[in-house]
Structure 1
């Protein structure tokens, strides 16, 4: 690959000499050869000229699901990684919710090998317990040796407190990261949506905030006892933000994330009984959204995620109680977040946090491998079916106004553009 990005506004807060400056960027054989105000292309160099082109280091998402192996009708690894790269994400954590569930070293090798020649780097999560049944620990050390970056029973809480204790103690031997989904199943019961005025009026079974907060409180008590590294994915309540804030003040090694739709949307969307809005954790209230947004911007919440989860049409076009949870979100993530918090905070949220998972942080400087996202932060558009790149179409942001456009990404000596 031999390309020249012309007049790109560079977003690189750690490098003040080029941050928010317009520069030409010459990339050859996967490396950034030169950054300058004006570069005259040599023969054989492909010039890339795009309207209001902006460039940052490649974006990163901590919660992405596809389908393969086992659920290829939802999404394949090949197309899912293509969706990620076209949406600007050059690194993703892949959730362990396939069939079979990846709970051995060989499963991790299969997933890594499936992404050998892709633009987007796939970083697999292994199951915490065998078949994610929350009964016995899986082969954690072997999986980490083969490339797993953490251990997670996807969207399944660890009901056995002693199992969480043992996992945190054991994983310290090899600096492993334990995930614990925040849900008390007894409190949740048969609930599917946020417990409140909307659920009561619509006659839908509610999930109280207590279900999430009680589990988080337990997890943090166990973490304080054992030590180790804990990640609590996709919190959704103001009380959860408060608990994480207090834990970090104590010095506990805990991180957390929030799904983008849990900041942008509320349970008022449920009035239509549209199963696109059936997600886990559920959409909650404006009060919770404001607390989550504040927590994200002040650093209490470490990551924002699209929580991308393709679901085929047969599992969504059913009665609300019987519909599967989940929404796709990679394609709409930048536009929705940029519309909510503006460019600088958006780029910060989409690029930070790789170190937690031992993933190298890209840089924009001469002589390093190019790992870049190309985008235009301006312009409003309505997200519609034509913008969906995934095999599944369960998009929670469908028909909503988004801001900006992703042009594509560059990584691993490859480039993909949406133009």
Structure 2
């Protein structure tokens, strides 16, 4: 099959065609030619979208699909189709299924289920057995089966020694350990950010201190063990500073941030909309400003949707009873483009996460394997339920203004568009 992308503006800082508008010819999954104009032949599949831009394929490093165990929230098949149409050529699937992804067979199940998709599947296996934080899972066996990292999704590692041992043990096979930034003892029963809004609304608050203490502990253990640590979905200004200081000391630490923490604040709580009940909770305007600055200066390595489908029975409830989580793949690009420049966004969705998780580099160049995201950075829209491709509809961005949209992807010798 031959596909011709017409008049595509290339956004790839590593490419000699960066910021140039070119035609791109793809044959049997590889880029055959890049030129100012390539004549279309009858047998070509021609792609010619308004204001077409292309970049290396986006990688979302925190995606929950539910299957196995919670198929009513999302199946792997529909989840991967949603990822493709949202611009992602690769996703890291979290371990919060039933059963938990804490064994070699569970890792292989996820990989096999995604084998026929044009979206690459990379499991993040549980760090502890059943994600209960007590006993370390068989990390090496899961690494051999295809797991790219280890972490108990949205669950802090309360056992200091467990994290220490994991950081030491994983060094034997260059493993990456994840630690969710929350101290349960300090957070207590808090369900939103502790502050003016939580007090005025009568909602139990979790102080930002719970995140800071956990990150500080993690960084002390990282310095002691000389391991490799990833802190997912940070949410506060102090967290940015702690990680920035650790990087200056030469520690192997990375972190991610979500679109909702970059663009939304706890002012959203006024409507008691359970779609904005997330973990970590939405913070303050000063926190969002610091997170944006952290993305720009390189402290924050990547942006992730933290896509977490929740069925209506567990989400459309009284705020205090609803489960945490928002879907996010469909809205990620349009949300962050309202606060970040295009080149920074692309770097945080491509080069940044691939470097941290040790994946193969991609490039838009002649002879390279075609791993490409197609998008329009300028289209303005209001995000509604009609834009949601996921089975579950729990989006924090419903009725929010977005700038930019994904057309789809070309990857693994397949074109998938909306």
Return the TM-score normalized by structure 2: 0.98
Matches within 5 A, 1:156-305: 156-305=155-304
What residue is the counterpart of 2:27 in the other structure? 28
CA shift, 1:379, in A, is: 2.1
The aligned residue for residue 382 of structure 1 is 382
Deviates more, 1:382-391 or 1:346-355: 346-355
Q: Give the 3-state SS of the residue equivalent to 1:69 in structure 2.
A: coil
Once the two structures are superposed, the pairs formed by residues 17-416 of structure 1 within 5 Å of their partners are: 17-353=16-352, 354-416=354-416
Deviations 1:264-315 (A, max 9, x none): 0000100111101100000010011111111111011111111110000011
Q: Please report how far the alpha carbon of residue 352 of structure 1 lies from its aligned counterpart in structure 2 after TM superposition.
A: 2.3
Aligned residues: 417
Question: SS of the counterpart of 1:290?
Answer: helix
Q: Render the CA deviation track for 1:152-205: whole Å, top value 9, x for unaligned.
A: 100111111011111111111111111011111110100000000000001100
Distance, in Å, in 2 between the alignment partners of 1:127 and 1:232 is: 14
Runs of 4+ in 1 over 4 A off after TM superposition: none
Match of 2:324, SS?
coil
Separation in structure 2 between the aligned mates of residue 273 and residue 180 of structure 1, nearest angstrom: 29
Distance 1:352 1:406 in 2: 18
SS in 1 for 2:317: coil
Whole-angstrom CA distance in 2 between matches of 1:170 and 1:348: 31
Residue deviations 1:45-85 (CA, integer Å, cap 9, x gap): 12111111111111111111111000000000000000000
Counterpart of 2:14? 14
Contact 2:9 2:21 in 1 (8 A): yes
Task: Describe the SS at the equivalent of 2:26.
Answer: strand
Return the alpha-carbon distance in structure 2 between the equivalents of residues 125 and 5 of structure 1. Answer: 33
Measure, in 2, the Cα distance between the counterparts of 1:212 and 1:7.
46
Q: Which runs of 5+ in 2 are unaligned?
A: none
Deviations 1:217-253 (A, max 9, x none): 1111111111110011111111111110111111110
Maintained 8 Å contact 2:29/2:370 = yes
Partner secondary structure for residue 134 of structure 2: coil
- Residues 341-398 of structure 1: CA deviation (Å, up to 9, x unaligned): 1322222222222022121121111111100001111121111111000000001010
Distance apart, 1:336 and its partner CA: 0.7
Deviations 1:63-112 (A, max 9, x none): 11111000000000000000000000101111100000011111111111
Q: Distance in 2 between matches of 1:391 and 1:157?
A: 28
Separation in 2 of the partners of 1:280 and 1:183?
9
Shift of 1:399: 0.6
Secondary structure class of the residue paired with 1:25: strand
Tell me, in whole angstroms, the C-alpha distance in 2 between the residues paired with 1:167 and 1:379: 45
Tell me if structure 1 keeps the 8 A contact 2:262–2:336: no
8 Å CA contact retained: 2:409, 2:415: yes
Cα distance in 2, alignment partners of residues 46 and 272 from structure 1: 47
Deviates more, 1:326-335 or 1:39-48: 39-48
Unmatched tracts of structure 1, length 5 or more: none
Residue aligned with 1:287, SS: helix
1:216 alignment partner, SS class = helix
The secondary structure found in structure 2 opposite 1:125 is strand
After superposition, the CA RMSD in angstroms is: 0.9
Return the alpha-carbon distance in structure 1 between the equivalents of residues 231 and 31 of structure 2. Answer: 36
Is the 2:87–2:408 Cα contact (8 Å) retained in structure 1? yes
SS across alignment from 2:150: coil
State the secondary structure of the residue aligned to 1:18: coil
